[in-house]
Amino acid sequence: MLEQYKEAIEKSNIISKTDVNGIITFVNDEFCKISGYSKEELIGKNHNIVRHPDVSAAQFRKLWQTIKAKKTYKATVKNRAKNGSTFYVNTTVIPILDTNGNIEEFVAIRYDVTKEVFYKQSLELKEKELQELNATLEKRVLLKTKELKELNETLEKRVQDEIEKNEQKQRIMFWQSRLASLGEMLANIAHQWRQPLTELSLTLFSLKKAALHENVDEMQSLYHESKNIIQNMSTTIDDFTNFFKPTKEKYYFKIADSINESLSILEKIIIKEMISVNTEFEDVEVLGISNELTQVLINLIQNSKDAFLQSSVLIKEINIRVKKEDTFAVIEFEDNAGGIKEKDVYKIFEPYFTTKHASSGTGLGLFMSKMICEQGLNGSINVKSKKNSTIFRIKIPLQNRNEIDAK
Ligand SMILES: Nc1ncnc2c1ncn2[C@@H]1O[C@H](COP(=O)(O)OP(=O)(O)OP(=O)(O)O)[C@@H](O)[C@H]1O
Ligand SMILES: [Mg+2]
């Protein structure tokens, strides 16, 4: 039975025996396997053949002191294999005594704990790293915050730069659009003047005749007629120059006045194209620049006029309604000029989007109108296009005069 116990222990553990001086007298196969030495290389050698240089002299002394005192020594020991690799073994060294109680030899029973030790070491390492990480965390957070702050500052500057660029672009587009409408306006003036000029030359001709006949009364009445015609022509010019005056200060104005202004500027065209304009105005005042809203309406009417030219509708109608809705003034502008194609409807407010020939459209009209509604009037403009009609809806916030004045 003792033999069987011995075998059981030998098969499951790493076993070696040394004499009292530490000279190896026995090793089992497991010992050879882990150390990489053969039995022949080990027997007769000092046991410190597997001693690792890292093992301190103090630890070694303690081992010898313990076992020499006939006590069992237990420890996890770092060893070195023949190929230089390290292995860890949980070691129990037992002194074997003879019948007189003297040490006869030492038996060492070990088992391999290399993996466990390595795991423990890497765990300790990670723990240490974590501790260091923790310690530097605050510093790194501060550093990152600083970096972020700097980024933020340059970001602000970059955003500012972009805004400035954008504003500049908008200013250019604004002037392009103004120039385009200036061209249109000149055409309008020319158109509006054609009739009075003809009238004037007729009157002058009559005046000449009256002068020949020395008909003073007739001459006087013709003179007044001419003066009136010239007065009217001058008013037309005033209307247009007023419209082009760059006004910056915002003030309260009646939406109806602003719309009527646009209708009077385009009166001749509206009549010429036989468009019937129906208006339904509630008395609403908003804060902004009247001329700018006039310009929006001019753009809308011009667009409707252009659309009517393309459509075959017989009764051309534009309906303009002004009403209050909650805290907003709403302008609804509707025409029956055939509507906008579904694929275009999302693009019409984009700058330079036009379906017209280059000579008749720059594609800036609605873009500028949107700018004016949003920036000049603090409101919005949107469009809905049905089968035959188009409805533009402008919403402008109503502000309480007293509130504003108080500010
Ligand atoms: N009432 C409308 N009915 C049908 N299509 C319209 C109407 N209003 C605008 N559109 C379409 O929207 C496009 C863009 O209009 P926008 O006023 O911005 O530019 P434009 O009239 O082409 O040129 P611009 O006004 O600069 O001379 C037009 O080309 C047209 O296709
Ligand atoms: Mg237009």
Token pair, residue 361, equals 């459209």
Choice among 30-39, 94-103, 168-177, 287-296 with the minimum mean pLDDT:
168-177
Q: What is the pLDDT of residues 159-203, one digit of tens each?
A: 888 888 888 887 777 777 777 767 766 766 776 677 788 888 888
Phi-psi region of 248 (alpha: psi -120 to 50; beta: other; left: phi over 0): alpha
> In the block, which residue shows the tokens 């109806």?
256
**CA–CA gap between residue 220 and residue 214 (Å, rounded):** 11
Q: Which residue has the higher pLDDT, 354 or 403?
A: 354
Number of folded domains that form the chain: 2
* The length of the chain, given as a count of residues: 407
Residue 351 within any structural domain of the chain:
yes
Q: Residue 347 is part of which domain span?
A: 246-406
Residue 247 in this model has a pLDDT that exceeds 70? no
Distances (CA, A) of 407 to 163, 349, 400, 401, 402: 28, 34, 11, 10, 9
User: How high is the pLDDT of residue 17?
Assistant: 95
Mean pLDDT of 36-58: 93
Share the mean pLDDT of the chain: 88
Of 112, 145, 166, which residue constitutes the final position of a domain?
A: 112
For the residues of 84-121, what is the DSSP string, one character each? Answer: S-EEEEEEEEEEEE-TTS-EEEEEEEEEE-HHHHHHHH
> Candidates 341, 348, 352, 367: which one to mutate for ligand 1, based on the most atoms within 8 Å of Cβ?
348
Mean pLDDT of 143-150: 89
Of 112, 133, 156, which residue constitutes the final position of a domain?
A: 112
Residue 328 within any structural domain of the chain:
yes
- Closest CA to ligand 1's atom 6: 340
User: How high is the pLDDT of residue 236?
Assistant: 74
**Ligand 1 pocket, Cβ-based, cut-off 6 angstroms:** 180, 299, 303-304, 307, 335, 337, 340, 344, 348, 353-356, 361-367, 390
Residue 332 in this model has a pLDDT that exceeds 90? yes
Residue 122 within any structural domain of the chain:
no
Report how far ligand 1's centroid is from the alpha carbon of 184 (Å).
15
Residue 392 within any structural domain of the chain:
yes
Distances (CA, A) of 213 to 200, 201, 219, 227: 20, 19, 10, 21
Instruction: Determine whether 198 is exposed, middle or buried from the number of CB atoms within 10 Å of its CB (0-12, 13-18, 19+).
Output: exposed
Mean pLDDT of 338-351: 91
Q: What is the pLDDT of residues 265-312, one digit of tens each?
A: 888 889 989 999 999 999 999 999 888 899 899 999 999 999 999 998
Of 93, 112, 131, which residue constitutes the final position of a domain?
A: 112
CATH of the domain at 103: 3.30.450.20
Q: Are residues 400 and 257 in the same domain?
A: yes
Report how far ligand 1's centroid is from the alpha carbon of 327 (Å).
30
- Per-residue pLDDT band for 407 (boundaries 50, 70, 90) equals very low
**Which ligand 1 atom is nearest residue 362's CA?**
26
User: How high is the pLDDT of residue 402?
Assistant: 54
User: How high is the pLDDT of residue 286?
Assistant: 94
- Percentage with pLDDT > 70 across the chain: 93
Residue 141 in this model has a pLDDT that exceeds 70? yes
Q: Which residue has the higher pLDDT, 401 or 327?
A: 327
Token pair, residue 383, equals 């469009």
Q: Are residues 108 and 252 in the same domain?
A: no
- Percentage with pLDDT > 90 across the chain: 52
- Closest CA to ligand 1's atom 11: 348
Residue 103 in this model has a pLDDT that exceeds 80? yes
Q: Which residue has the higher pLDDT, 248 or 274?
A: 274
Choice among 20-34, 342-356, 359-373 with the minimum mean pLDDT:
359-373
User: How high is the pLDDT of residue 403?
Assistant: 53
Nearest one of 302, 391, 312, 394 to 354, comparing CA atoms: 302
User: How high is the pLDDT of residue 99?
Assistant: 92
CATH of the domain at 265: 3.30.565.10
Residue 176 within any structural domain of the chain:
no
CB neighbours (10 Å) of residue 305? Answer: 19
Residue 355 within any structural domain of the chain:
yes
User: How high is the pLDDT of residue 289?
Assistant: 87
Q: Which long-range contacts (CB under 8 A, 24 or more apart) does 91-97 make?
A: 93/63, 93/66, 93/67, 95/67, 95/68, 95/70, 95/71, 97/70
Residue 367 in this model has a pLDDT that exceeds 60? yes
Residue 395 within any structural domain of the chain:
yes
User: How high is the pLDDT of residue 323?
Assistant: 96
Residue 70 within any structural domain of the chain:
yes
